[in-house]
Amino acid sequence: RKEVEQDPGPFNVPEGATVAFNCTYSNSASQSFFWYRQDCRKEPKLLMSVYSSGNEDGRFTAQLNRASQYISLLIRDSKLSDSATYLCVVITSGAGSYQLTFGKGTKLSVIP
């Protein structure tokens, strides 16, 4: 099983739609989780951290399910500007260091 897995998509959704991405991770000791957004030919940028209690930032909601080892990102009322690749990132600590593992990303295209 890969360490961090995401559905690569692409997800093609109309403007105004609600779309959800999931990301599964294999190491139960993983401690920090993030969603990053990467636009074409640009660097990844932090979208939001993910907490067990869930967190919301405007149209974006992130959830963590430790029991099932997955995190999710929900985007409501999709905008054209949401079109990007969304990367799931998992941080695991061990032996005095932190290991950062990226999913391969899920591509979202919001169409008019």
Partner 1 sequence: DGGITQSPKYLFRKEGQNVTLSCEQNLNHDAMYWYRQDPGQGLRLIYYSQIVNDFQKGDIAEGYSVSREKKESFPLTVTSAQKNPTAFYLCASRDREPSYGYTFGSGTRLTVV
Q: What angle do CA 38, 44, 46 make, to 5 degrees?
A: 105
Enumerate the β-bridge partners of residue 108.
11, 84
Structure tokens at 51: 């907490």
89 versus 110: smaller Cβ distance to partner 1: 89
User: Residues with Cβ < 8 Å from 12, sequence gap 6 or more?
Assistant: 109, 111
CB of 98 to partner 1, least distance (A): 5
CB of 11 to partner 1, least distance (A): 15
Residues 6-65 that bind partner 1 (CB under 8 A): 31-32, 34, 41-46, 49
Q: Which of 36, 6, 37 lies closest to 22 in space, CA to CA?
A: 6
Q: Does 100 bind partner 1 (CB under 8 A)?
A: yes
Residue ranges binding partner 1 (CB under 8 A): 31-32, 34, 41-46, 49, 87, 89, 91, 93, 97-98, 100, 102-105
